[in-house]
Structure 1
Amino acid sequence: MEFKIEQVKDLQSIDVSHLVKESETEGYRFLTRLVNDYQDGTNTFSEDGEALFCVRNKANDEVVAIGGVNQSPFSDDVKTARLQRFYVLDEARRKGVGSLLLEKITEHSKGTFDELTVRTESSKADAFYLSNGFKFDDSVSETTHVKKLN
């Protein structure tokens, strides 16, 4: 499989229903929140430095992963970013898609933010973030991993 990554300027212009459905089956509700928050304007990834990205399968143009970066709502420091709504379809996992998406978000965030934070409760996600340059750090509320960007 070959993949391409793009910035999502309007979430309502792409089909993420299959990601939402699969994530809910796995017990995750954060993609449902992504869609709802985007629709009601709560989070449209439009503040300084924020962005939403998706990864598509080049063969059929299907969205196989999504994730974004926001100014952290858990920090008073405007230089702290939060990885948000990061999800990779099961069929695309272990193929470099998550790392590709995370690399794009990290590169986008440099220059605006000094660090990228995330919270996970999954051992698989923990291993993923550690292998992609994050350090385990739960010293701040709502954070389990931090990656310095400068």
Structure 2
Amino acid sequence: MGDFRISKIENLVISELSHLVEESKTDGFRFLERLVNDYNEGTNTFSEHGESLYGVYNENNSLIAVGGLNNDPLSNDTQVGRMRRFYVGKEYRRKAIGTLLLRQIIYEAKNYYRVLVLNTDTKQAANFYQAYGFEESEAYPGSTHLLNLGYEK
């Protein structure tokens, strides 16, 4: 595995993400485009208490993966976090980049939330999340999976 670095993104530079946005759109996914739009509009900047946006960078300091953690906007429970906008560039899949990013988000989520939820509509992604302990569940609105973190405020 090459030299990869994971960092919290404090100020998203849209141009750093544009290649991933285009790649994801080609694959039929619009959630990175939504990330950019929401960030630009200020509706979701991953800056509330307990929220974060992470990027994984390669040896050339290019952004190769992104994933975010939000307070779950669909739940009234402040102890529920939602993983959002998780994407790994095609060239870097099956190289443990997704695992690195997922583990960082889970680690961060444990500081703020009791449960981490997500929504996915692909079997491949569902299998990936389930391999790391997520369970299929519709217990929370707009979610397909949850992970009990055990944290209590």
* TM-score, structure 1 as length reference: 0.96
* Correspondence 1:44 to 2:78: no
Q: Could you list the runs of 5+ residues in structure 1 that have no partner in the other structure?
A: none
Cα distance in 1 for partners of 2:79, 2:54 equals 20
Aligned residue type for 1:101: L
RMSD value, Cα? 1.1
Give runs of ≥4 in structure 1 deviating > 4 Å: none
Report the counterpart of residue 24 of structure 1 in structure 2: 25
Deviations 1:67-118 (A, max 9, x none): 0000001110001000010000000000100110010011111121111100
Question: Which runs of 5 or more residues in structure 2 are unaligned?
Answer: none
Q: List aligned pairs for 1:1-150, cutoff 5 A.
A: 1-12=2-13, 15-58=16-59, 60-150=60-150
Matched AA of 2:80:
T
SS in 2 for 1:66: strand
Letter aligned with residue 45 of structure 1: F
SS in 2 for 1:15: helix
SS at match of 2:13: helix
Amino acid at match of 1:136: E
For the residues of structure 1 that align with 2:11 and 2:98, how far apart are their CA atoms?
Answer: 21
